[in-house]
């Protein structure tokens, strides 16, 4: 699992940062990418990245401001041109379906795959299958905005091969049955319980990606014990009044949220274009004074998220 930043700017693109878009690389876990927000130019950013648009499976939109969704029509149609044939599901606030339908209808676009659009009308469980679940909660912004909590389900523990070898248990189908927790009777009459030969479950990872928000309890709740929290930090602390006037967060707000939630890694994004070059270090210094394991994302930067064995 790897998180990859395609765009990390706020409001409008700059020479250093495109507008918001994030990819969660799940190739090892499910052979796909999940995308979060799709600001203008996202498909261009993908061209300069290792992300494979044709292997995208889901697109989660946090809110309907232009710097988070103007790139959707181009991305959807380019996915067809790149041979994308598997279904794609878009999640977002009420109104995202009308935006997509209108853009595709007016432009006469044709998609080579099934497009599903799920509009979020309430908080809670949004998606679940055998490997992942996604929860969502409202944040505090000028328009309805959601954050997403991606939870990888725990994996079965490893089969204790050394223990089986000590007992002289021959390798083969028996091992598979024991790993699945079944009871196995050997030819010599010994009965083995699968649970006795499987280690503790391997904890799944938790990644929380927030949309635009001021500091709020909803963000803290969503980020509880996250391995990685992605939080906007549009401004430094000296612009707190400006941040709150527009329902945005400062670097200090982001760090306080991470610290209060017990998140491991904080990654700040959605950076105002007023912070260029070395000025970005101010945001990092303010956050690290509160939450040591903090980072400021930049376009085309990625972070591997290992399992905690």
Respond yes or no: is residue 67 known to be catalytic.
Answer: yes
Check whether 141 is labelled as a binding-site residue.
yes
Check whether 44 is labelled as a binding-site residue.
no
Check whether 248 is labelled as a binding-site residue.
no
Active-site residue identified among 37, 67, 227, 299: 67
Check whether 37 is labelled as a binding-site residue.
no
Give the residue among 37, 106, 87 at the shortest CA–CA distance from 65.
37
Residues with Cβ within 8 Å of 261's Cβ and at least 6 positions away in sequence, in order, are: 219, 220, 221, 222, 223, 224, 225, 226, 229
Biggest CA pair distance of the chain = 76
Separation of alpha carbons 95 and 120, rounded Å: 10
CA–CA distance from 100 to each of 34, 51, 227, 237 (Å)? 18, 22, 33, 37
Q: What is the DSSP letter of 276?
A: -
Separation of alpha carbons 273 and 83, rounded Å: 35
**Token pair of 39 as six digits:** 């600001």
* Residues annotated in a binding site for Zn(2+): 63, 65, 67-68, 141, 212, 270
Catalytic sites, residue numbers: 67
């Amino acid at each position: 699992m790897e998180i990859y930043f395609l765009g990390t700017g706020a409001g409008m693109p700059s020479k250093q940062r495109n507008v918001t878009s994030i990819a969660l690389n799940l190739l090892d876990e499910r052979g796909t990418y999940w995308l979060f927000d799709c600001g203008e130019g996202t498909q261009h950013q993908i061209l300069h990245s290792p992300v494979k648009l044709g292997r995208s499976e889901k697109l989660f939109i946090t809110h309907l401001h232009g710097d988070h969704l103007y790139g959707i029509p181009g991305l959807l149609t380019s996915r067809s041109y790149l041979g994308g044939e598997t279904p794609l599901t878009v999640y977002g606030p009420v109104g995202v379906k009308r935006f997509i339908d209108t853009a595709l209808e007016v432009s006469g676009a044709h998609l080579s795959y099934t497009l599903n659009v799920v509009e979020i009308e309430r908080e809670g469980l949004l998606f679940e299958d055998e490997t992942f679940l996604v929860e969502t909660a409202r944040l505090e912004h000028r328009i309805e905005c959601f954050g997403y909590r991606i939870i990888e389900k725990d994996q079965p523990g490893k089969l204790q091969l050394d223990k089986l070898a000590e007992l002289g248990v021959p390798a083969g189908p028996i091992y598979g049955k024991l790993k699945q927790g079944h009871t196995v009777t050997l030819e010599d009459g010994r009965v083995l319980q699968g649970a006795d030969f499987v280690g503790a479950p391997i904890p799944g990872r938790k990644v929380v990606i927030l949309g635009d928000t001021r500091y709020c309890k909803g963000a803290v709740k969503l980020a509880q014990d996250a391995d990685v929290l992605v939080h906007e930090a549009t401004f430094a602390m000296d612009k707190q009044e400006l941040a709150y006037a527009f329902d945005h967060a400062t670097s200090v707000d982001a760090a306080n949220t991470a610290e209060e939630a017990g998140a491991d890694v904080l990654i700040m994004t959605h950076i105002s274009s007023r912070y260029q070059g070395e000025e970005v270090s101010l945001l990092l210094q303010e956050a690290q004074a509160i939450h040591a394991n903090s980072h400021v994302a930049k376009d085309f930067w990625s972070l591997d998220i290992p399992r905690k064995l």
